[in-house]
Amino acid sequence: MLGALLLLLGGAEASPCDAVPAAPKVPMPTEFSCPVGATASASGNGIECISRDGKPTGDAFNIDGKTGLMLHPLGLSLAWTDGVVSWWQQRPTGHRVTYEGGRPAKVEHYVGGDLQCAKHYEGARLVRSFEAGKWSWLDKKGRAIDPKTPLEKSEIASVMKEHTPEVQLCYESRLHEVKGEFHGTLALTVEIENGDAKSVKVSEDTLRDPPVSDCVAARVAAWKFRPSTEAVEVTFPFVFKERR
């Protein structure tokens, strides 16, 4: 009986989020390659890939001073500052990891684009996890937080900060398509209830680019907050500056 129990425990499958993979090294422009059939074209401070029908594939490489960004809709994407990776993701299947202060702040694993597990940290403390299709929010003692507890401003700001890279991607992916000046502010007013964004409305848009505003709105609508039975309305301002 004991032998069978040990065999069962030994065969237990570990979560991909239990260990953090090493960050990829910062690539050189010469290491960037386009998908098969696409050609590389100079674009501002970087490179973009153009398909045979003349349309951008979404694959791009950009360096602006000390910061850089490599995008692959199907493959490895990453961003860096001063030679240090700030986030990276392997799509559609693989890890997505963001860093803060040199340590992992968010570790997620996707299969076919669907989230399988996640662990989010504040410093060394685990504050949120996703396993078996369910999110859990933890207090400072590692206990689940009561849903009747109202959301705090710091919690909302933390979610926004965690998702800033994906919002920036909505803007970055349009840089090579828009001619002339391309900067501005996009503000979204969001009603949050039971952890979900129940409504997302544009309250300010000086960028005036529907593809970006639609992309950002779709991202924000998918954000998950700590479940609270007390609804709250909040406005998220996003300031976009050119990186050409």
Q: How far apart are CA 21 and CA 108, in angstroms?
A: 11
Which residues, in sequence order, are CB contacts of 61 under 8 Å at separation 6+?
27, 29, 32, 46, 47, 48, 68, 69, 70, 71
pLDDT at site 9 = 38
The reported pLDDT for the residue numbered 4 is 37
Q: Is the pLDDT of residue 127 over 50?
A: yes
Residue 177: its pLDDT value, please? 83
Q: What pLDDT was estimated at residue 219?
A: 96
Angstrom distance (rounded) from CA 119 to CA 137:
10
Predicted confidence (pLDDT) per residue in 156-194, tens digit: 998 998 899 899 989 988 887 888 889 999 999 999 999
According to CATH, the topology of domain 146-244 is: TolA/TonB C-terminal domain (3.30.2420)
The runs of H, that is alpha helices, within the chain are 2-10, 153-175, 210-221
Whole-number pLDDT of residue 45: 78
**pLDDT value at 3 more than 70:** no
Rounded to 5°, angle at Cα 113 from 198 and 74: 130
Q: Is the peptide bond before 92 cis (omega within 30 degrees of 0)?
A: yes
| Segment 33-84, tens digit of pLDDT | 999 999 999 877 789 999 999 999 999 999 888 899 999 999 999 999 999 9
Amino acid at 236: F
Q: Is the pLDDT of residue 92 over 60?
A: yes
Highest mean pLDDT among 122-136, 214-228, 230-244: 214-228
pLDDT of residue 21: 86
Question: For residue 119, what pLDDT is reported?
Answer: 94
Reading the block at residue 16, the tokens are 């991909």
- Cα–Cα separations (whole angstroms), residue 142 to 8, 107, 121, 161: 27, 18, 12, 22
**Matching residue, tokens 């040199």:** 102
Q: Specify the pLDDT at position 13.
A: 66
Is pLDDT at 20 greater than 80 in this prediction? yes
